[in-house]
């Protein structure tokens, strides 16, 4: 099944009202700023992340949007990027769906607009300010290769039921490759 990551105009991603945008050299992605997510300063985020937005409640990280660039070697297409990113989901997870998606971006971005979406559920490990061990979580990742050949993975992870299917679809629809 091929899903389109945007409505109508192929060049513009659809970022919902009340959302912010994370910008990187390879892509931009929306995050639900109006739901309490805030961009994490570069000095505070893990070195592997090019951009992050976090939702914290009472000191617990209940949601996270992250962008990783150049996260795998020997990856040349969306299938390879998704395989590498999917391997990192973890043993405590259950894949719900894997779909091909076409992201927003300039027409001349070509194959860079082709990506794979993986929806999954998992349980929190309770480490690093995450919810208590065993808390049900949900996530979606979108993986591909940008127009310069750099593999990317964009993730949204949150406490289950804190984001619904429409939010996950809006997240995917907000991604625009450069």
Give the predicted TM-score (pTM) of the model.
0.89
Interval 61-75: pLDDT, tens: 999 999 999 999 999
Q: How many CA atoms lie within 13 A of 32 on its CB side?
A: 20
Question: Percentage of the chain surpassing pLDDT 90?
Answer: 80
pLDDT for residue 5 is more than 70:
no
Residue listed under structure tokens 């927003």: 104
Residue given tokens 């309770």 in the structure block? 126
Whether residue 106 contacts residue 134, with contact meaning beta carbons closer than 8 Å, is answered with no
CB-based contact 106:28 (threshold 8 Å): no
Give the CB-side neighbour count of residue 68, counting CA atoms within 13 A: 19
pLDDT value of position 10? 55
Domains annotated on the chain, with CATH: 2-177 (3.40.1000.10)
């Amino acid at each position: 099944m091929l899903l389109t990551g945007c409505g109508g105009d192929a060049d513009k991603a659809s970022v919902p009202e009340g959302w912010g945008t994370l910008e990187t050299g390879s892509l931009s992605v929306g995050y639900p700023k109006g739901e309490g997510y805030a961009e994490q300063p570069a000095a505070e985020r893990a070195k592997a992340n090019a951009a992050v937005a976090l939702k914290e409640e009472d000191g617990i990280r209940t949601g996270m949007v992250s962008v990783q660039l150049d996260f795998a070697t020997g990856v040349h297409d969306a299938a390879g990027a998704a395989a590498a990113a999917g391997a990192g989901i973890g043993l405590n997870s259950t894949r719900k769906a894997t779909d091909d998606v076409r992201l927003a971006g300039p027409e001349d971005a070509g194959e860079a607009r082709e990506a794979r979406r993986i929806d999954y559920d998992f349980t929190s490990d309770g480490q690093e300010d995450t919810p208590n061990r065993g808390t049900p979580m949900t996530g979606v990742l979108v993986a591909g290769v940008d127009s310069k050949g750099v593999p990317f993975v964009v993730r949204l992870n949150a406490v289950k039921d804190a984001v619904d299917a429409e939010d996950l679809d809006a997240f995917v629809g907000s991604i625009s490759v450069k």
